[in-house]
Structure 1
Amino acid sequence: MDEIRVATNNFDEALVIGIGGFGKVYKASFDYGSTFVTIKRSSPMSEQGALEFETEIHVLSQLHHQNLVSLLGHCQEDEEMILVYEYMSSHTLFDHLHLRSRGDLPLSWTQRLERCIRVARGLHYLHTGTEHKFIDRDIKTSNILLDHNWVAKLSAFGLSKATNPALVSTTVKGNVGYFPEYFWRHKLTEKSDVYSFGVVLFEVLSARLAVNPVEDDKHGSLVDWALYCCENGIATQLVDPDLEGKIATESFEKYIEVAKKCLAEKGVERPTMSDVLQRLVHCSFRKNADIAPTRDGNRTEKADLERNSDLTPGIEFSEIIITIGR
């Protein structure tokens, strides 16, 4: 614990970079600033406690994937619970969608799509990459962190469940707006994560909050608004104004299709994360992309798309794919 206090300058408030359900989150260093880590300190007033602390350690000790935030260490002393993670210097996906500072550039469509692909890879690993399936149960843009290379990683596994068999009856955990059917039925499966990820997909496309209490009933719930737009042929109204005219038509249509499937009312009707991942990768190919949709239903020509995109110079637009790594 003494090393933790030194690393955080005795939990200096100036080093606080966030506050979550577990407690305050600090930027810290064990070697006088040459490398940094993230430290979560439990709070007596926290919504989460010893059970979530032990779950996070148990889950992350079994999971190793480039799209999951790594747990570097932990300690429990004098009723203090401390978790130490790799430092994610580029903040959260939520920050980049909703809390941009003046002058910050919005994420491009390519950047947003690549981050969704990486998160999908992390979820696919949780569901299939270990002996027992793990269900995240707390997927939201504020739990998707970006490292110094802007690689997206899932974080916060204190609410996760290891399932064997796949179906678990459990109390409700998570955040309103990202809840699937288990909010009502208390039945948790990996398809519950798929639903939450579908909310994230529409949030990434629209830069709308999952739940916005200041909006009217029609627009307050992102899920309700997204499904209404899809069912009434006005899906282009979901596009973030910063992306208007900058998404290739084929990419847009494939993305809307997979996001909508994730929000199917019944879990059995939703795709697996493997299927979601494959569909998102297909979105990235953007073959035969000559025109792109705008919010009013008009089209943007290919030349305009190329000027407004962040494509690598010298590469043909129709040949671009996103590198998603291994």
Structure 2
Amino acid sequence: MILEEMSILSCCRISKSEIKKKSLKNSKSWVYDDADAYSTVPRGVSLSSGAIKQRILAEEALRNGNARVPAEVFTFRELATATENFNSELLVGEGGFGRVYKGHLNKTNQVVAVKQLDRNGVQGNREFLAEVLTLSLVHHPNLVNLIGYCADGRQRILVYDFMHNGSLEDHLLDLAPNRKPLDWYTRMQIAKGAAQGLEYLHDTANPPIIFRDFKASNILLDENFIPKLSDFGLAKLGPTGEQDHVSTRVMGTYGYCAPEYAKTGQLTTKSDVYSFGVVFLEIISGRRAIDGTKPPEEENLVDWAKPLFKDRRKFTVMADPLLEGNYPVKGLYQALAVAAMCIQDEAGTRPLIADVVTALEYLAIRTDEAASAAAEMVEFE
């Protein structure tokens, strides 16, 4: 039974006091266009006056805590030059809120990602505000770095460090024929880093921040495959004081939303834990959260996996075939145990993300036996 393997988390449980001491392609989000989205950013910023004055954003961030103000405010002309007038050949991704281009800043000789938000509809404005203000207030190695922004007229553009290896989706679910699949330990390292990003948002940020759109396409990978959470347009401030949840209309991506959030609109950090569990299952299995090309009983990844959790003999069926059996069997069992706990229907029974991070720290360690085998394989080749 998968429950036997769940002890990996129980033995790693961390108290809340200890936690405090620890310092885009085809997956589109579906949203409800509602006033609730304004609560994703600090109060005082208004869209009612028309075009947003660029400097107001930085000043507002400063008034709301220890802000890390974006390094630069760009003009539209500068970013048009950087992207060769938003040349379609430089398009590297497209999400629910706009397009992402590869660009080059001549004055700093820096390669960047330029995200041009959709000018149609107020949702683009809301995502812009949420991204600028959230990423001005938080900073972590596993969160994407916002270099600057542009708010000229109706233009809403964000500039980030360019991630040379694209998204996790590119290497896991949209694998090109000429691209090697991720090995087991790289997958575990990516999962650990992504969980650490969530841990920072949940346990270090004050008030806590609920990411709300955790999925493979929102996990970007740098040249060393270090993961960075991106797309904070749906991020929402978490409960404070006596509150145990925040109420909101449902926003997110189908297949990743926690069941209690989808049903009631009650959002907690455990909602992110559920989404993490779904992505972790994708990492283990190489299957999409929702895949219409599969037989009906296998279209939903969680529904497919839950019966298999009950039979140890079927655990290996859940491993990505592209791994070709190159994974530690015990590690597979333990990884499935972590995923199973994260996707439990009852939010209260899911682990804290800090506990998940601790478990993944063990799973991401390459054993001596595995390292020796890998060395022999390289020598043989």
Scaled by the length of structure 2, the TM-score of the pair is 0.74
Contact 1:92–1:145 at 8 Å: present in 2 too? yes
CA distance in 1 between counterparts of 2:258 and 2:331 reads: 26
Picking from 68, 75, 82, the partner of 1:7 is 82
Tell me if structure 2 keeps the 8 A contact 1:250–1:286: no
* Shift of residue 34, structure 1, vs aligned partner: 3.6
Aligned residues: percent identity?
37
Q: Does 1:142 align with 2:222?
A: no
Provide, for residues 281-315 of structure 1, a one-character-per-residue CA deviation record: whole Å limited to 9, x for no partner.
122346697xxxxxxxxxxxx8xx954x479989x
1:217 and 1:288 map into 2 onto residues whose CA distance is 42
The one-letter code of the counterpart of 1:169 is S
The separation in 2 between residues aligned to 1:17 and 1:6, in whole angstroms, is 17
| Equivalent position to 2:303, from 224, 227, 237 | 224
The letter for the 2-side match of 1:150 is: F
Q: Residues 185 and 365 of structure 2 are in contact (CA less than 8 Å); yes or no, is this contact kept in structure 1?
A: no
What is aligned with 1:118? 193
Deviations 1:183-212 (A, max 9, x none): 111110000000000001110011101101
> What CA RMSD, in Å, does the superposition of the two structures yield over aligned residues?
2.2
Match 1:159 to one of 234, 243, 253: 234
Distance 1:145 1:47, change over 3 A: farther
Select the residue among 80, 102, 116 that pairs with 1:27.
102
Is the Cα contact below 8 Å between 1:133 and 1:164 reproduced in 2? yes
Q: Does 1:264 align with 2:264?
A: no
Give per-residue Cα distances to partners, 1:25-63, cap 9 Å, x unaligned.
110111179420111112235793211110111111111
1:270 & 1:146 partners in 2: Cα distance? 27
Amino acid at match of 2:193: R
Corresponding residue number in structure 1 for 2:316: 236
Q: What's the offset of the Cα at 1:124?
A: 0.3
Whether the aligned pair in 2 keeps the contact of 1:90 and 1:148 (CA below 8 Å) is: yes
Answer whether contact 1:133 1:163 (CA < 8 A) is retained.
yes
Q: How do residues 1-326 of structure 1 correspond to structure 2 at under 5 angstroms?
A: 1-31=76-106, 34-45=109-120, 48-165=123-240, 166-181=244-259, 182-233=261-312, 234-285=314-365, 307=373, 309=374
Partner residue in 2 for 1:294: none
State the distance in 2 between where 1:33 and 1:70 align: 16
Counterparts in 2 of 1:230 and 1:311: CA distance versus 1, 3 Å = farther
What amino acid does structure 2 have at the position aligned with 1:265? Answer: D
CA–CA separation in structure 2 for the residues paired with 1:173 and 1:235: 32
1:90-135, CA deviations, whole angstroms, 9 ceiling, x for partnerless residues?
1110010122222321100011011001001111000011221000
Distance 1:180 1:47, change over 3 A: farther
TM-score w.r.t. length of structure 1:
0.86
Q: Distance in 1 between matches of 2:214 and 2:323?
A: 24
CA distance in 1 between partners of 2:225 and 2:90 (Å): 21
Kept in 2: contact 1:21–1:46 (CA 8 A): no
Secondary structure of the 2:137 match is coil
Name which of structure 1's ranges 134-143 and 207-216 shifts more when overlaid on structure 2: 207-216
Counterparts in 2 of 1:312 and 1:153: CA distance versus 1, 3 Å: farther
Instruction: State the distance in 2 between where 1:310 and 1:146 align.
Output: 25
In the alignment, structure 1 segments of 5+ residues that lack a partner are 290-301, 315-326
Counterparts of 2:108 and 2:89, CA distance in 1: 15
Amino acid of the residue matched to residue 172 of structure 1? V
The 1-side partners of 2:353 and 2:303 are apart by: 22
Instruction: Please give the secondary structure, in 2, of the residue aligned with 1:251.
Output: helix
Cα distance per residue 1:139-176 (max 9 Å; x no partner): 00000000122211110001001123251000111111
Q: Is the 8 A contact 1:11 1:26 kept in 2?
A: yes
Q: How many residues align?
A: 299
Give the structure with the higher percent helix. Answer: 2
**1:256-279 C-alpha deviation (Å, 9 max, x unpaired):** 111100001011000000000111
Q: Is the 8 A contact 2:141 2:228 kept in 1?
A: yes
Residue type matched to 1:178 in 2?
A: Y
Distance in structure 1 (CA, Å) of the matches to 2:352 and 2:375: 30
SS of match in other structure, 1:29: strand
CA contact (8 A) 1:23 1:46 kept: no
User: CA–CA distance in 2 between the matches of 1:23 and 1:35?
Assistant: 22
Structure 2: which 5+ residue stretches go unaligned?
A: 1-75
